[in-house]
Amino acid sequence: MDSKQEIEGAGMQRRGAAALGYGRAQHVIDLYIWPSSSRIDMPGESGNRTGYNFIRRTQDDMVFRVVSDLDKAELGKFVELWRTAS
């Protein structure tokens, strides 16, 4: 299992999740959404594992995780664009 699979799988075991794919600046962005076990909205948590950046946040009883090899700033821009559009 590579690091991207580890990031994608973290927190999603035994849960149904929606997976959406996007492209930005010739990079693939994976967005995963699944029901939260907590009703508390949590601000974004971010990190990097072996070249893949991720951002995770909980909002409206849902967990949102974005994973890509985009740099952290560009991935953050994508998250803000997605949040304002949805």
pLDDT tens string 13-49: 556 889 999 988 899 999 999 998 877 767 778 999 8
What pLDDT sits at residue 60?
A: 83
Stronger pLDDT, 79 or 41, i.e. the higher one: 79
10 pLDDT exceeds 60?
A: no
Closest CA to 78 of 22, 34, 35: 22
Domains identified in the chain and CATH numbers:
3-85 (3.30.200.100)
SS (H, E, C) the chain: CCHHHHHHHCCCCCCCCEEEEEEECCEEEEEEEEECCCCCCEEEEEEEECCEEEEEEEECCEEEEEEECCCHHHHHHHHHHHHHHC
